[in-house]
Amino acid sequence: MRIEIEGDASAGGWPVPDCGCASCGSAAAAPHAAFRVRVDGVPLDRLEAAPVPGGCEVRAPSGALLLCAAPGGLPEPVSDSTFAAVLLDLLADPFHLGALRARGAVGAGTAVYAVHVDHRVRNEAELARRLEFWRRPPTGRTLLLGGSRSGKSAEAELRLSGHPRVTYVATGPVADSDPDWARRVGAHRERRPAHWGTLETTDLVSLLSKERDALLIDGLGTWLAATMDTAGAWDSPEAALPHLDALVSAWRATRATVVAVTDEVGLSLVPETRSGRLFRDLLGALNQRLADASESVALVVAGRVLPL
């Protein structure tokens, strides 16, 4: 089967007519035509197609089956087949790809295309970066560092959005006495797809040792604070060191795919309190050790990602 993408953009193309946003400005140098595809030389709209919610299933001249999204649609297959190719509006919901993989509709041999693209992504380079994660979900260990509200959690979710089986590991429990923190936790929950599991725990060593699928750990700062509480390390920081050693050992040995979010504590002012300085020093040391044992490390600043 031969798929020719003659146009991959939304109906108005990209750049969107009369739009002055930065994304459309960057796309002006290499415009994307509106969605138009040929399969084995035949226009997509001339092939046998069966409507499904959010799109259609299309039969290629060769007999291969494709799943195609309507603009903004999240196509739900009615057949039990593994599709030869999927053409999805991944800017509408990238997690839909992971859900299709989880149900077996997208397999290792399925070709994945992003269609109906437009200024929902900031530029061509960012689209290409996301496509790498969608087509080949990451494996190994990834450490994402960033400050508060840097976008590091959203980046972690993006990297695993195409993975079929993900457990979100929350290391900071919700405190009913802190409405603001509860709202932040709630916002994170609403972003996560329904097919992901959620686990609230600080026992990362055991989890890393037994898990074989994908883990999103958010985050190591709250894990360290809880560990220091349990170990009585706020006054005796050496009491936390065996726990850090155990985590690093489990991180090195894990067979899971892991994306962990952590706080970059080296760019702010020196904390005024002794406990603040102890926490900064321990987390900074932990970040260095985990980074040294990771296949991928990146710093997230203002929603932009800098590979390290």
Residues known to be catalytic? 188
Tell me the pairing of strands 85-88 and 65-69. Answer: parallel
CA geometry: angle 47, 42, 36, nearest 5 deg:
90
> In this structure, what token pair is assigned to residue 64?
């291969």
Place of tokens 């026992």: 203
> In this structure, what token pair is assigned to residue 192?
């996560």
Amino acid letter, residue 288? Q
C-alpha dist (Å) from residue 73 to 34, 53, 95, 115, 300: 16, 8, 13, 11, 30
Contact between 289 and 248 under an 8 Å Cβ cutoff? The reply is yes
> In this structure, what token pair is assigned to residue 211?
């898990």
Place of tokens 């993989």: 101
C-alpha dist (Å) from residue 197 to 49, 190, 192, 254, 301: 34, 13, 9, 19, 28
Within 13 Å, how many C-alpha atoms sit on residue 278's CB side? 18
Burial zone of 238 (CB within 10 Å; 0-12 exposed, 13-18 middle, 19+ buried): exposed
What's the CA gap between 5 and 186, in Å, rounded?
39
Give first-to-last CA distance, the chain, whole Å.
39
> In this structure, what token pair is assigned to residue 123?
């530029």
